[in-house]
């Protein structure tokens, strides 16, 4: 609906490689009423980034398509 106002969300994403585990690890947090915190790990960078993108899309879909 074009009459709905756009709400900006602030999400913090951390991404790092843990050599001893051979994993790209990530955390995502969103401060606010719900204090969303998610995390994951994957051996390949592209897979980790896709997980982050899918998680952000899921959060946005759940919050704005109720």
Residue-wise pLDDT for 29-57, tens only, equals 987 767 789 999 999 999 999 999 999 99
CB 55 within 8 A of CB 38: yes
When pLDDT is cut at 50, 70 and 90, the band that residue 3 belongs to is very low
Query: pLDDT at residue 59 above 90?
Result: no
Interatomic CA distance for residues 27 and 29, integer angstroms: 7
- CA-CA distance, 55 to 53, in Å (whole number)? 5
Count of alpha carbons within 13 Å of 44, Cβ hemisphere only?
3
The residue length of the chain stands at 66
Does the pLDDT of residue 16 top 80, yes or no?
yes
């Amino acid at each position: 609906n074009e009459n709905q106002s756009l709400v900006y969300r602030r999400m913090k994403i951390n991404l790092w490689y843990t050599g001893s585990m051979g994993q790209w690890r990530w955390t995502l947090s969103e401060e606010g009423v719900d204090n969303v915190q998610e995390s994951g790990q994957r051996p390949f960078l592209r897979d980790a980034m896709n997980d982050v993108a899918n998680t952000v899309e899921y959060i946005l879909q759940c919050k704005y398509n109720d």
